[in-house]
């Protein structure tokens, strides 16, 4: 057993070899979520179907990696990476977003209170997209819900809170898109849905993880209160390839 930064114990033997959680997108697209790989994915660079997720992945980040990604995606295209360390982009690339996220692992978490929830799917796409665009929990595409079990809470027919499953590697499933409409905040809905999804994952024999921006102090406090502990920092970077002669405007 090991003790994490939040003082919680966990069974380190449950973590897969080669630290797949450090490069979850790569291991997901080469494993449990391989059906969502694009046809132009290669042995060195894999992409999610863009209607499902904006992320791509490489096995190793070397000096030539950015050039290889540029050649693969083409001029003007975007690339989203999520891994333990994403080095600064070289000339010709424009970073649109870079954020460090705490990767948190479920520990001694309580059971949800049992509020009524509903399973969300293709019939709920417009409502899910609208809530995600309003609350900005992170990248959420039209078909993101196909990655796993998504649940929500409605009030008078309006979707006011949701959460679900995104990345998965052997032994672990990520909780994602946890969000609540401003009119329904302060009622504990995010906590309820997070615990619901976490226990659903646990009951299948896997363990729940999640990612939260390192400066989102209120969310970090919530997840720590629920029993999630910090495992490590993960970089999230979205960059656009403009060509070798491009330079940012001053």
Q: What is the β-pairing status of strands 207-213 and 172-180?
A: parallel
Domain ranges of the chain: 19-101+235-241, 104-231
Cα 12 from chain centroid (whole Å): 22
Q: Which residues of the chain have pLDDT under 70?
A: 1-18, 250
Question: What is the CATH code of the structural domain delimited by 104-231?
Answer: 3.40.630.30
Instruction: Evaluate the CA torsion angle 159, 161, 164, 166 in order and state its sign.
Output: positive
Say which CATH superfamily domain 19-101+235-241 falls into.
Answer: Gcn5-related N-acetyltransferase (GNAT) (3.40.630.30)
Do 19-101+235-241 and 104-231 come out as alike in CATH topology?
yes
pTM value surpassing 0.95: no
20-69 confidence digits (pLDDT tens) = 999 999 999 999 999 999 999 998 899 999 999 999 999 999 888 999 89
What length does the chain have?
250
């Amino acid at each position: 057993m090991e003790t994490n930064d939040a003082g919680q114990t966990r069974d380190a033997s449950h973590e897969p070899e080669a630290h797949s959680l450090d490069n979850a997108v790569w291991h997901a697209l080469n494993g449990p979520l391989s059906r969502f790989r694009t046809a132009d994915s290669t042995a060195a660079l894999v992409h999610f179907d863009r209607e499902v997720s904006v992320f791509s992945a490489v096995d190793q980040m070397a000096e030539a990696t950015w050039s290889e990604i540029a050649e693969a995606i083409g001029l003007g295209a975007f690339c989203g990476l999520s891994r333990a360390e994403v080095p600064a982009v070289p000339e010709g690339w424009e970073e649109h977003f870079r954020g460090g996220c705490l990767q948190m692992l479920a520990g001694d978490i309580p059971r949800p209170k049992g509020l009524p929830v509903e399973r969300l799917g293709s019939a709920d796409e417009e409502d899910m997209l609208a809530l995600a665009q309003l609350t900005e929990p992170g990248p959420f595409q039209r078909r993101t819900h196909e990655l796993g079990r998504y649940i929500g809470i409605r009030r008078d027919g309006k979707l006011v809170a949701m959460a679900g499953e995104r990345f998965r590697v052997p032994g672990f499933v990520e909780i994602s898109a946890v969000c609540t409409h401003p009119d329904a905040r302060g009622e504990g809905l995010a906590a309820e849905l997070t615990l619901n999804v976490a226990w659903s994952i646990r009951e299948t024999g896997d363990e729940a993880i999640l990612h939260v921006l390192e400066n989102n102090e209120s969310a970090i406090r919530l997840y720590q209160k629920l029993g999630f502990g910090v495992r490590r920092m993960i970089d999230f970077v979205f960059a656009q390839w403009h060509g070798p002669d491009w330079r940012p405007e001053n």
